[in-house]
Amino acid sequence: MSPLPELTARPGRPLKGIVTAPGDKSISHRALILGAMATGVTEIEGLLEGDDVLATARAVEAFGAGVERLAPGRWRVTGLGGFRPPDGVIDCGNAGTGVRLLMGAAAGHPVTVTFDGDASLRKRPMKRVTGPLGKMGARFAWRGAEDRLPLTLTGGGLSGQEFVQTVASAQVKSAILLAGLNAAGRTVVVEPEKSRDHTERMLAAFGARVQVETEGAGWRVALEGGQALTGTDVAVPGDPSSAAFPLAAGLIVPGAEVTVRGVMLNPLRIGLFETWLEMGADLTVSNRRAAGGEEVGDLTARHSSLTGIVVPPARAASMIDEYPILAATAAFARGETVMRGIGEMRVKESDRIALMAAGLTACGVRVEEEPEGFTVTGGRVAGGATVTTHGDHRIAMSHLVLGLAAEAAVTVDEPGMIATSFPGFVEMMRGLGAEIS
């Protein structure tokens, strides 16, 4: 999407249609990075061609991998069995997942590299990754404010360590495991709750031996250093985080019925769908099948009478990116929807708790903000507001969906950032009948 100053969503006719979910962003990043670390050819089908993933593609090419776009969504990565020193700065754009996983991968190689990003990425904390990598032996020099990009990493000579996490984070776990591939000895990550397991699954597909054991409500993930990866074929399933937006519109727009095909149903990624069902959503799954080592299915959402619930805080790890669109749907539910234990939202691309609370309030919705969460009281959604997004794609898309069912149009600023995760969002929604201009 070319940069636009504003986008406006207006209430209109019922949404109808069948669309295909864009490729999963988390798996797209990992397919490129592991393909670059491996020896040989990795063929990727269904890669998400959003700005974030394209930044990672440019990064692995800078680290020495061969990267070719064969057709829309079809990419080939030719790995050399490791990373080579890049010629310049690795600019990760807005990709938080990309930069953190790339730092983990690069830390295991004898390279010195500077990582940077756009203004939004420069505000996001990095010590959650650089701290563990530093304990393994990687060295970091901060080029600006400590804990923020830009930073310079010097890798190589790592030793495996055991890390007991206080907060489940797939990005932190993945960075540690990727570094551990080239560390001496055993690397272990213990999580208090289970975070998404795409890295573990994909490492196994590339030939690595990863040991996963349940430990309480979480798990212990371990691998031995010195393991080589071999290029393989990767089929990227549909992204549940992206599918959430047209499905949410199906739930809240009167008379709507929307089907999204090929959505990944990994148990650690469906927290939003479970929450909607508990709220009374008419949400059904059909045509379950396997794709890229993951279960996928076709989801159909029909206009529903929703009731607010208390979302279990333990569910946060499985749906942390989906709380903005959950908050938007909660605005149309009867009673209170309570969302707590989600302080991580404050250090995403923006402070998503504050921005969702401000946007919903501007649209006439009652919101009570807390340090680690918020409560949305559903009912009348007046709309008629212009919402400040701070360039956050999920804040923009959530309020645009809200505007399709509000009493009056809702406008968002800085919508160009939607292309970071969901290129084609506006076109897809228009194809369903949405009035977005």
Owner of token pair 């148990």: 267
Q: Which amino acid is at 124?
A: R
For residue 329, give the 3-state DSSP assignment. helix
| The pLDDT value given to residue 344 | 87
| The pLDDT value given to residue 108 | 97
Burial 79-114 (b: 16+ CB within 10 A, else e): beebbeebeeebbbbbbbbbbbbbbbbbbbbebebb
| The pLDDT value given to residue 4 | 64
* Residue ranges, the chain, pLDDT below 50: 1-2
Classify burial at 214, counting beta carbons within 10 Å of its beta carbon; exposed 0-12, middle 13-18, buried 19 or more.
exposed
| The pLDDT value given to residue 3 | 54
- pTM of the predicted model as reported, rounded to 2 decimal places: 0.86
Alpha-carbon Rg for the chain, nearest whole angstrom, is 21
Query: pLDDT tens digits for 203-234?
Result: 999 999 999 999 888 899 999 999 999 999 99
The candidate with the shortest Cα–Cα distance to 404, out of 10, 7, 6, 16, is: 10
The candidate with the shortest Cα–Cα distance to 397, out of 323, 341, 287, is: 323
The candidate with the shortest Cα–Cα distance to 266, out of 239, 300, 286, 233, is: 239
The one catalytic residue in 321, 351, 392, 413 is 321
Active site residue 239: no
Q: Which amino acid is at 109?
A: H
Query: pLDDT tens digits for 158-201?
Result: 999 999 998 888 999 999 999 999 999 999 999 998 888 999 99
Owner of token pair 């990709």: 95
| The pLDDT value given to residue 299 | 98
| The pLDDT value given to residue 419 | 83
